[in-house]
Structure 1
Amino acid sequence: MLGMLWTSPVTALGLIAGVFAIPFGARPRLRRDDLALVFQHWPWGPGGAITLGNVVLHTGEDLDSPCYTYAHDAGHRTEPPIKLADHERAHVYQYMVLGPLFLPLYLLCGGISVRNRFERAADRYAQTGRGWWPWSK
């Protein structure tokens, strides 16, 4: 509960964005296991998902869809697909610890990139179920 409260300013931004997208086809779905409200069929962006606090904006049909890790997509190594839901759940956990500090730290670590420790940790968590913290090994 404290983590949700701590990240509530960012969650509010996600809620505003999600509610704004409903007339354009977005559909909210509560995913208790992911501790998130997911807006599926998010109508904008290149595809995939973005997490804002306890809200996930997802362009696809189902957050449980397979996707590749950042390292795989960058050609660093060949890895089997992961579930997008697991990757985004790691970001929810990261937000619940870091709250409003998540976004500036995420950007300082490289933004949407294979070099970003937040993305590597989310991929690690999606692969193994462990290691969602960006500064763990």
Structure 2
Amino acid sequence: MSEGGFRGASVHGVLRALWRVLGILWTSPNTIIGLLLGVAGLPFGAHAHVRARELAVVFHEWPWGPGGALTLGNVIIHTGDSLDAECLTYAHRAGLVDEPGVILADHERAHVLQYMALGPLFLPLYLLCGGISVRNRFERAADRYARTGAGWWPW
């Protein structure tokens, strides 16, 4: 490979790292809320670890809620023991399509990326788009990303 090829790859890597750092800073108010919520579950059996692939701190075995996962910035609150579990898409659960399940970690990673792009705007936009429902473009995009590995952006 030519020297220019290495330089191009290096610039791409630096830009990607810069985007990640800026995204983490941009969504830090959401992340702080997630950390406070996650830490509240620690005395009741929750445990935390960093998942680099998801760019998140994950709190597993979180003791409250209806089940599943909730992403807040770079934090994933999860009532189960593994994000690597299969789950149904929102469209499948709503009876709109019959499709295979997706991996929960992939779905939640899409939300982390959405948060990193939208920062403090994420929660108001998410709620304006319908909250936790199949109608929500953020949830449809997260399911699309979990199915295909692309398309996490909701617009």
What's the TM-score once normalised by structure 1's chain length? Answer: 0.98
Match of residue 91 from structure 2: 71
Match of residue 106 from structure 1: 126
**Alignment identity in percent?**
71
CA distance in 1 between counterparts of 2:57 and 2:103 reads 17
Aligned counterpart for 1:51 among listed residues 66, 71, 81: 71
What SS is found at the alignment partner of 1:38?
strand
Query: How much is the aligned-residue C-alpha RMSD, in angstroms?
Result: 0.4
Structure 1 position 23 matched with structure 2 position 43? yes
What SS is found at the alignment partner of 1:96?
helix
CA distance in 2 between counterparts of 1:78 and 1:44 reads 30
CA distance in 2 between counterparts of 1:73 and 1:56 reads 22
What SS is found at the alignment partner of 1:51?
strand
Stretches of structure 1 that go unaligned for 5 or more consecutive residues are none
Deviation for aligned residue 1:29: 1.2
Q: Count residues in correspondence.
A: 135
Structure 1 position 93 matched with structure 2 position 127? no
Match of residue 62 from structure 1: 82
Indicate the structure with greater helix content: 2
CA distance in 1 between counterparts of 2:102 and 2:109 reads 12
What's the TM-score once normalised by structure 2's chain length? Answer: 0.87
Runs of 4+ in structure 1 off by over 2 angstroms are: none
